[in-house]
Each structure stands twice: as C-alpha cells, then as structure tokens.
Amino acid sequence: MPAPKVFVTREYPAVGLNRLLQECDTEVWPGPLPPSREVLLEKVKGCAGLLTMLSDKMDAELFDAAGDQLKVVSQYAVGVNNIDVEEASKRGIAVGNTPGALTDATADLAFALLITAARRMIEVHESIQAGEWKAWEPLGHIGWDLVGKTIGIVGMGRIGYAMAKRCQGGWGMNVIYTSRSDKPEADQNLQARRVSFDQLLADSDFISVHTDLNAETNKLFDSNAFEKMKSNAIFINTARGGIHNQPDLVQALKTGKIGAAGLDVTDPEPPAQSDEILHLPNCVVAPHIGSATTKTRNEMAEIATDNLLNALHGKLLRCEVK
C-alpha cells in the first residue's frame, strides 16, 4: 500500500517532523512564511493528513479541495479557532491539538508581559538606548507594584490557573476569575473567586486573558469593557488577538482609560508596521511566542505527530477536539 500523503504547512521540530518524513509521503512547505491560500488549496489535494499551524484557515472550501480521503487535521497548537471543527466532524475528519504541553511556557510569558509593562521596561530600555541615562532619578521611571494586587483571570483553564498560581503564590495577589463553570481547584488552592465579567473589570488591578476565541469572546474587550476597568489597570492578552478590539485598545491606552498592556497576540497578526499598537510607550508586544521554548515546542511536535499518525492508523488521537 502506498504511504499516505501528508502536507505540513511549515517546518516544525524534528522530533515530530522526522517521523512523518519516515512514515508518510510528506511534503513540507519551506520557508518562514505560511503558504498563501491559493497554494494551500493546491497542496492539500489528495492528502490523508494535514499538519497545520494556527494561521492556516481550515474550512469547507479547503476540505473540498483536499478530497474525501482526508482523515485528519492535526494542529501544532492548542487553539483551533482557524479550523471549522463542526464542518470537519460532519465530514468525519478528525481534528487534533496540543493542550497541556504549553501551559507553563504561556503562563510564564503572561507574567513576563505583566512585570515588563508594570515596571515599564521597554520605555526604560529605549530611553537608555537614546542616551537619556544621566543620573539616578528619584522621580523617574516610576512603575506599578504587583504584591497584594488583584489579578483578574479571564478563562480559568490550564493556562489561566498556571498564571493565577504564579500571581497568588509568588506575589500574594488576590485572584478573581470568569469562567463557564466554577473551578473548585482554583477556589481551594488559590483562594480564587469566580465573579461576573463586570465585577472582574471593576475590581482587577491586572487582567490576563486565557480563554479561547469564539463567538462569545470575539472582541470581548472593547471600549465598553476598557471604560469599566481601573484607570491604572494593566491588560494582558496571550490567548488570541481577536479577543480584544485593537483600535479600542489603542484608544484606551492613549487616553488613559487603562494604564498599560502586554500583548503576545494582536489582531491582525502580525499588525502592519504602522499600526499604533506597536508604537505606544505603555504597550509591550511580543510576536506570539507563548509556547516558544525548546521543551514546549518539542512536546507540541510529539503530540501533533502522534495525533496525525494515530488517525491515519485508525487509532484514537492523543488529543482530539470535538
């Protein structure tokens, strides 16, 4: 029997990719940029498996282009908002993702963004580079304290919990959160409290977003939400850029409706170089690097590869999205 045809939309860690190269008739899209939609529609033809990145749109048109033999879309990420999972299920195409592997790396990054924004590290660094460091400044570069403040977690899943744990355990913060359901583990271990969205906006000194992007969370943080936040609040988003309304966020940061922001995700991604979000002194932006550590990316590669090969061999996926 010929080896199943697989298309991999970007090179990913060798611990996973090498197995696909050995076991399947695998084509890997070369280079640092994703394939265009046109190329993608062409490349998926006749494939039994697709190894995808979060920027690849997987919808009915693409499944049609691939053909009936497509068995699995294995995403090298936990978020699957780029995939029409319902459409895939209707067609019997399994969808896999990589939850768990990136929890700590992403929570670390969320905390890094919080402390970077709070201590104004980017402004300070740029001012040094501009030759402005003349003396110790008794009144200069004043930032925010973190200890004992209130952190509002939007989405108390794995990553939200890991961020809350850092904030409560290390910095003695009070934890409040919004979530679809109560989270007894967070309530017991972190003395966390589930509150309404409006209460979270009003009471949080810092807000960190850890929910997935869906119809409910799309543009959840808009001018209305920023209006209800404390004027010195810090907004952190390491989940998906679509959860904040970016022009509204820019306005909120420029007009002092909120104090600062730390973003690992933007909308669109990447933003145009001229996008104001990249040029505000009170906003630190990272290029979606929450999971970018060696151990994490290797683990994600292992899971994504197992998911794809399992599906091709008619076995259960390690992590299936339904």
List of residues contacting ligand DGY (CB under 6 A) = 54, 77-79, 102, 290-291
Task: Identify which of residues 4 and 242 has a Cβ nearer to ligand DGY in the complex.
Answer: 242
Closest CA to 290 of 18, 52, 10, 54: 54
Shortest distance, position 230 Cβ to ligand DGY, whole Å: 27
Shortest distance, position 168 Cβ to ligand DGY, whole Å: 24
Quickly list DSSP for 67-106: -TT--EEEESSS--TTB-HHHHHHTT-EEE--TTTTHHHH
The span from the CA of 162 to the CA of 183, in Å, is 13
| Cis omega (within 30 of 0) for bond into 281 | no
The span from the CA of 122 to the CA of 262, in Å, is 11
First to last CA, the chain: 30
The span from the CA of 271 to the CA of 80, in Å, is 20
Query: 10, 194, 288, 318: which is the annotated catalytic residue?
Result: 288
Q: Taking the CA atoms of 156, 160, 162 and 167 in sequence, report the sign of the dihedral they define.
A: negative
Task: Identify which of residues 97 and 150 has a Cβ nearer to ligand DGY in the complex.
Answer: 97
Task: Identify which of residues 14 and 128 has a Cβ nearer to ligand DGY in the complex.
Answer: 14
Shortest distance, position 186 Cβ to ligand DGY, whole Å: 21
Shortest distance, position 157 Cβ to ligand DGY, whole Å: 12
Q: Taking the CA atoms of 156, 161, 165 and 171 in sequence, report the sign of the dihedral they define.
A: negative
Shortest distance, position 77 Cβ to ligand DGY, whole Å: 3
Task: Identify which of residues 85 and 195 has a Cβ nearer to ligand DGY in the complex.
Answer: 85
Task: Identify which of residues 127 and 293 has a Cβ nearer to ligand DGY in the complex.
Answer: 293
Query: 240, 244, 297, 318: which is the annotated catalytic residue?
Result: 240
Query: 27, 87, 123, 269: which is the annotated catalytic residue?
Result: 269
93 and 65 Cβ atoms separated by less than 8 Å: no
288: annotated active-site residue: yes
Cα dihedral: 102, 105, 76, 286 (round 10): 140
SS3 content of the chain, % helix, strand, coil (to 5): 40, 15, 45
The span from the CA of 244 to the CA of 248, in Å, is 8
269: annotated active-site residue: yes
Catalytic residues, which ones? 240, 269, 288
